[in-house]
Structure 1
Amino acid sequence: MIWIAIRMLTGDAQKFYGLVFGIAFSTLLITQQLTIFVNLLERGASAVFNVPSADIWVMDRVSRTTDVAYPMPSTALDKVRSVPGVEWAAPHLRATASVRTGDGDLEGVAIVGVDDATLIGLPRRMAQGNIDVLSRPDTVIIDDVGTTNMFEDGRSPIGERLELNDQRAVIRGIADAVPSFTSQVTLYTKYSQALRYVPGTRNRLSFVLVGAAPGVDHQQLVARIEAETGLRARTRNQFAQDGIDFIVENTGIPLNFGITVALGFVVGVAIVGLTFSLFIRDNIKQFGALKAIGVANGTIRRMVAAQAALVGLIGYGLGVLGTIAFIWGFSAVPTFKGFYIPWQIPLISLAAVVLILALTGWVALRRVLKTEPAAVFR
C-alpha cells in the first residue's frame, strides 16, 4: 500500500514538484538565515577569538565588551601580576583612530596594541609576512579583511605608508584574523607604538590579558583577581559570550532574522498546505476506492504519512544542499569569511519541516478519513 501511495503522489508531477519546492524553499530560507544570524552573532566575540592565548581578560568595572571598554591606569597591570595564580599578564590596548592612506583617502580603523616583549594579543596566524616585522619602527600589521576594504583595487598593502593621527605607519604584514562585527579595518602594532597613534588621555590601558598558572582553576582565579584588584575579570568563554549578548541586546538583528525565519515557516505551510489539499482533492476517489475494498483508516494514515515523508526528505535535502552551496559560493567574499553551518541548525530546520508536514498532512488527512466508500460509485 505504501508503494501505491508513492505512485499516486509521483503520478501527479505538477503537484509533486510543487510540494518538493515548498519544502525546499522553506528549508533553504530557515537554514540560510539562521546560519547567517549565528555567524554574525559570533563576530561580536571575534576580538576574543583572535587572542587564543589569553585565559582571562581583566578590565575596568564598567567595561562590557572589547569595543565598549573604559581605559584603566597603567598600574592595573602590576596589580594583576601580583595576584597568586597569575602566570603572566600582558597589556592590551584597543582604540579607534582615523588614518589617511597614501592616496589621500580617510579611513576609520581599530588600533590594537599588543605586548612589546611577547606580542601576546596578535592573531594566531599570519596571511602574509611574519610577526617579527613589529620589531621595525613605525610598523603595523593589517588584518586580511581590512586589506580588501582599504585597498579595493587589489594591490598589495605591504610597504604602504599611512598617516595615523599625524604619525607615520608602515604596513609590513597581513594577519589572518576573524573579522569584527562591522568588518572594520584593524591595525596591530606594539603597545608602546599604539600609545603614539591613539590620542593622549590619562588612562589608555584597555585590558590586561592573563595566563593562568598550570593547575589553577580559571573561575577561581577570576574571583581572586576581582577581590584583590577591584577590577572586572572574565574567562575567555565568558567574555566572548558578553560580546554576543551585547549584539543581541542592543541591535535589531535577532528580531529581523526571527521575522525572516518565521516567514519561511509560514510560506512553507502555505505552499505545502495548499498543494497537498489540491492533491487530496484530485485523488479523493482513489482513496474512496481503497476504503471500498476494505483498506482501514490506519493504512490510509500510513499512506499519507509516506507521501509526506517522501516530499519532506527530498525537499529538506535540497534546501540544506542549497544552503551549503550558498555558503561555499560566498566563501571568497571577505564579509562571509569563516562562515559555517552549526550542526544544530539543520536539526532546527528538520523540526520545522516535520511540523509543516504534520500540520498540512493532518488537515489533508481529515478529508480522506471522512470520505465514504460509496463516494467512488457516485
Structure 2
Amino acid sequence: MGWIAIRMLTGDRVKFIGILFGVAFSTLLITQQLTIFVNLLLRGAAAVHEISTADVWVMDQAGRTSDVTLPLPATALDRVRSVPGVAWAAPLIRSGAAVRTPEGDLEPVTVIGVDDASLIGLPRTMLEGHRDALADPDAVFIDDVGSRKLFANGGAVGTRLELNDQRAVIRGIVDATPTFTGTVILYTRYSNALNYLPGTRNRLSFVLVRAAPGITPQALAARIGRETGFRARTSDEFADDGLNYIIENTGIPINFGITVALGFIVGVAIVGLTFTLFIRDNIKQFGALKAIGVTNNKIRLMVVAQSGLVGLIGYGFGLMLTVGFILGGTSNSDTFKGFYIPWQIPLIAAASVIVMLLLTGVLALRAVLNTEPAEVFR
C-alpha cells in the first residue's frame, strides 16, 4: 500500500513539487534565521571566549559586559593579586577610540591594552607579524576583519595611523572573532593604551585572574568579590552576561522569533493547502481502495507514507540550502566570520517539520476517512 500511496503522490507533479517547496522553504527559513540569531548572540561573548586563559573577570560593580563597564582604579590590580587562591592577575583596558587612516578617513575602533609582560589578552593566532613586535614603540596589532575593512587592498602592516591624535604603527594582524559591535579592534600594550585613550582618574577596565590549583573559579570569584568589593564573574558567567544583555536590551530576539514563526506558519499554509487539494483530487481513488476492502488504518498509513516522503525530501533540501548559505557567507563575507550551525538547530527544524506535517495530515485524513466507498461509482 505504501508503494501505491507514493505513486498517487508523485503522479501529480505540480502538487508534489508544491508540497516539497512548502516544507523546504519552511526548513530554510527556520534553520537560517535561528543560525544567524544564535551566532549573533555568541558574538556578545566573543571577547570573553577570546581570552581562554582567564578563569575570572573582575570589574566595577556596575559592569555588565565586556563593552559595558566602568573603569577600576589602578590599585585594583594589587588588591586582586593579594586575594588567596589567585595564581596570577593581569590588567586589561578595553575602550573606544577613533583613528584617522592615511587616506584621511575617520573610523571608530576598540582599543585593547594587554599586559606588557605576559601579553595576556592578545589573540592566540598571528596572521602576520610576530607577538614580540608589540614591544616596539607605538606598536599596535589589528584584527583581520578590521584590516580588510580599513585596507581593502592589503598592506596594513607597517601603516601609520593617527589614534586619538597620537602616532600608532600597525606591526601585525591577529585572528580575532568579531564582537557584537563589529568595530575594528586594535591591540597594544597596557602602557601604550594609557597614552592612546583619553585620560580619566580610573583607567583599568578589567582584571583577568587565573585560579590557583585546588580552587574552583566559582569559589575564587566569590572570594574576590567578598574581599575586594568588586564584581567578579567566572568566564562562563561573564560570557552568559554578554548573551543576556543582548537579549534584554535589543529587539533581536523578537525580530528573529517573528521571522521563525512566520516561516512555520507559511509552511503550514502551503503544505496544508496543497496537500488538501491533492486529497480532494484523489478522493475517488481513496474511495475505490475502501470499496475493495482497504481499512481506515491502512489509509492512515498511506497518508503517513506520503507525509514522510515529502517531509524527508523537503527537510533535506531546505537544510542543504541553509548549509550552502552559511558556507557561502563565511567564505565570502566578514559579516559571517565564525558562523556555524549548532547541532540543536537542525533538530528544532525537524521537530517543526514533523508538527507541520501532523497538522496538515490530520486535516487531510478527515476528508479521506469520511469518504464513502460508493463515492467511486458516482
Pairwise TM-score range, normalised by the shorter structure? over 0.9
Taking the TM superposition and a 5 Å limit, the aligned residue runs for 1:29-44 are: 29-44=29-44
Partner of 1:347: 347
Structure-2 separation of matches of 1:48 and 1:160 = 29
CA contact (8 A) 1:52 1:124 kept: no
In 1, Cα distance between the equivalents of 2:349 and 2:310? 15
Rounded Cα–Cα distance in structure 2 between residues aligned with 1:318 and 1:215: 51
- Deviation of 1:301 after TM superposition, in Å, equals 0.4
1:155 aligns with 2:154: yes
SS at match of 1:211: strand
CA RMSD of aligned residues (A): 0.7
Deviations, residues 309-366 of structure 1 (Å, cap 9, x unaligned): 0000000000110000001111121110010000000000001000110001100110
Give the counterpart letter for 2:90 in structure 1. A
Matched residue SS, 2:45: helix
Q: Report SS of the residue matched to 1:330.
A: helix
Query: For 2:238 and 2:274, how far apart are their aligned partners in 1?
Result: 49
- CA distance in 2 between partners of 1:220 and 1:49 (Å): 20
Q: Secondary structure at the match of 1:331?
A: helix
Which residue of 1 is the match for residue 76 of structure 2? 76
Structure 2 CA distance for aligned equivalents of residues 288 and 134 of structure 1: 81
Deviation at 1:155, TM superposition (A): 2.0
Structure 1 residues 98-113: aligned runs within 5 Å? 98-113=98-113
Partner of 1:286: 285
Contact 2:287 2:373 in 1 (8 A): yes
Amino acid corresponding to residue 202 of structure 1 in structure 2: R
Q: Could you tell me which residue of structure 2 aligns to residue 22 of structure 1?
A: 22
C-alpha distance in structure 2 between counterparts of 1:182 and 1:219, whole Å: 28
Counterpart for residue 334 of structure 2: 334
User: Deviations for 1:201-231, whole angstroms, at most 9, x for unmatched residues?
Assistant: 0000000000111121111111100011000
Deviation at 1:69, TM superposition (A): 0.6
1:230-309 equivalences under 5 Å are 230-309=229-308
Q: Which residue of 2 aligns with 1:373?
A: 373
Q: Is the 8 A contact 1:159 1:172 kept in 2?
A: yes
What corresponds to 1:9 in structure 2? 9
Distance 2:142 2:108 in 1: 13
Cα distance in structure 2, aligned partners of 1:127 and 1:39: 23
CA distance in 2, matches of 1:205, 1:256: 36
1:130 and 1:51 map into 2 onto residues whose CA distance is 18
Alignment-derived partner of residue 219 in structure 1: 218
In the alignment, the residues of structure 2 paired with residue 355 and residue 273 of structure 1 have an alpha-carbon distance, to the nearest angstrom, of 12
CA offsets 1:51-72 (integer angstroms, 9 cap, x no match): 1111110000010001001001
Q: Which runs of 5+ in 2 are unaligned?
A: none
Give the letter for the 2:165 counterpart: D
Spell out, residue by residue over 1:116-163, the C-alpha distance to the aligned partner (whole angstroms, 9 max, x if none): 0000001111121111111111000000111122123x2221011001
| Cα shift readout 1:56-109 (whole Å, capped 9, x = no counterpart) | 100000100010010010110001101111000000000111111111111110
Residue 169 (1) aligns with residue 168 (2): yes
Once the two structures are TM-superposed, the CA of residue 251 in structure 1 deviates from its matched residue by: 0.5
Distance 1:175 1:52 in 2: 16
Structure 1 CA distance, aligned partners of 2:300 and 2:126? 60
* C-alpha separation in 2, matches of 1:288 and 1:128: 73
Count of residue pairs the alignment pairs up: 377
Q: Is the 8 A contact 2:148 2:154 kept in 1?
A: no
Measured in 1, the distance between the counterparts of 2:240 and 2:149 equals 27
Aligned-partner Cα distance in 2 for 1:302–1:176? 54
Tell me if structure 2 keeps the 8 A contact 1:49–1:178: no
The TM-score, its normalising length taken from structure 1, stands at 0.99
Counterpart-to-counterpart distance in 2, 1:155 and 1:223: 47
Partner of 2:356: 356
Task: Report the 3-state secondary structure (helix = DSSP H, G, I; strand = E; otherwise coil) of the residue aligned with 2:44.
Answer: helix
CA distance in 2, matches of 1:182, 1:302: 52
**Partner Cα separation in structure 2 for residue 249 and residue 366 of structure 1:** 44
Structure 1 CA distance, aligned partners of 2:273 and 2:343? 31
- Helix, strand or coil: the match of 1:199? coil
**What is the aligned-residue identity percentage?**
68
SS at 2:354's partner residue?
helix
Residue 8 of structure 1: CA displacement? 0.5
Once the two structures are overlaid, the 10-residue window that deviates more, 302-311 or 126-135, is 126-135
